[in-house]
Amino acid sequence: MTGARQAVLEARRIVVKVGSSSLTTASGGLDADRVDALVDVLGAVHGGGEKEIVLVSSGAIAAGLAPLGLRRRPRDLARQQAAASVGQGLLVARYTASFARYGIRVGQILLTSDDTSRRAHHRNASRTLDKLLAMGALPIVNENDTVATDEIRFGDNDRLAALVAHLVRADLLVLLSDVDGLYDGNPSRPGASRIAEVRGPEDLVGVEIGSAGRSGVGTGGMVTKVEAARIAAAAGIPVVLTSAARAADALSGKETGTYFHPTGKRSSDRLLWLQHASTPQGSLILDDGAVHAVVERRKSLLPAGIAGVEGEFTAGDPVELRDVAGRAVARGLVNFDAREIPRLIGRSTRELARELGPAYEREVVHRDDLVILRP
């Protein structure tokens, strides 16, 4: 067994994400046999008492389609929310009954992107997950599709799973779908080969990554799964990407699917959210000197380096930092309202403090509240 797969065996806290296509029929509605098959695998892993499992499960909207007489996943948000409100109860009831066969209690956690951006919400979610795990329960996490709006949605449960893995300090993330790994081309075409390991972004150069899954009931595809794997790997969490049918092999360390090696170290939850889950409320345009200071020297953004401001935002909101060509180079939490920025542009903090008071002798975006988007 390779060292990489040995790390899978040694993982104690594991986040497993399963897609809608692995749990439901093509026309909508839960497939009880598929749910039970997944639970059989997770129940066996969890049952020994040495492993902790967090399940990030899609399927709420898909489960609600058939009961509401919908033939396919609706495009409008209101009907998606209606389907989710029906399907969420069915999904959790099915999981509850299935895990009960192994004497495992489950707890439901519904999250929106807003819950990871607001410090109090974020802290509460983290505490609840930790307490459920400490009490021997198995948390089932899903995006709260019944109330989430376009502005506060994660967009797909793959990305949510990567953020949850970071939130619970997971040792491993397993992404399950209807494809048994990442291929160097369309897996339905002759000659396509499965990529066994990804050690870094350079291994994906030239790889044709499909944009959609095979079913019509989910929102994700291979693109979202690879992006989720990148997020987790950059935070120091190894990832296995494979099919739900091979979940047992993946969790037992067998050479199945695609293994993504960790590429970075764990960062703060706030910075991970800032980079991957926040919605910028506006933009600050930086001159060339400020771009160099922020991106290359990892300095804070000072008023003197700002060339312009766009959008409406308040202090504490996430904003994009752009170069004069309009390219986003960083993202950060701003210390001033948008209406205050124009009178700060191009001026030194010392000058601003003399004219406007000591509250203005500070950074517009502090380096501790800033992530680089383009090295």
User: Binding-site residues, please?
Assistant: 17, 58, 145, 157, 177-178, 219-225
Query: b/e map of 267-289 (b: 16 or more CB within 10 Å)?
Result: eebbbbbbbbbbebbbbbbbbee
**How far, in Å, CA of 374 to CA of 194, rounded?**
29
Give the residue ranges of the annotated binding site for ATP.
17, 177-178, 219-225
With 0-12 CB in 10 A as exposed, 13-18 as middle and 19+ as buried, what is 339?
A: exposed
Q: Phi and psi for 180 in degrees, rounded to 5?
A: -85, 20
Measured CA to CA, the distance from residue 61 to residue 73 in angstroms comes to: 8
Residues 6+ apart with CB under 8 A from 164: 15, 54, 56, 111, 129, 141, 170
Q: Which residues are annotated as a binding site for substrate?
A: 58, 145, 157
Locate 221 and state its tokens.
Answer: 């595809």
Alpha-carbon distance 257 to 196, whole Å?
Answer: 6
Pairing of strands 370-372, 318-322: unpaired
Tokens, residue 202: 């350079």
HSE-CB for 197 with a 13 A CA cutoff: 11
157 close to 58: Cβ distance less than 8 angstroms: yes
Helix axes 119-134, 157-167, angle to 10 degrees: 70
Cα gap 232→250, rounded to integer Å? 17
Beta-carbon contacts of residue 276 (< 8 Å; ≥ 6 apart): 159, 162, 163, 231
Q: How many helices and strands, by DSSP H and E, does the chain display?
A: 12, 13
Handedness of CA 107, 81, 35, 227 (dihedral sign): negative
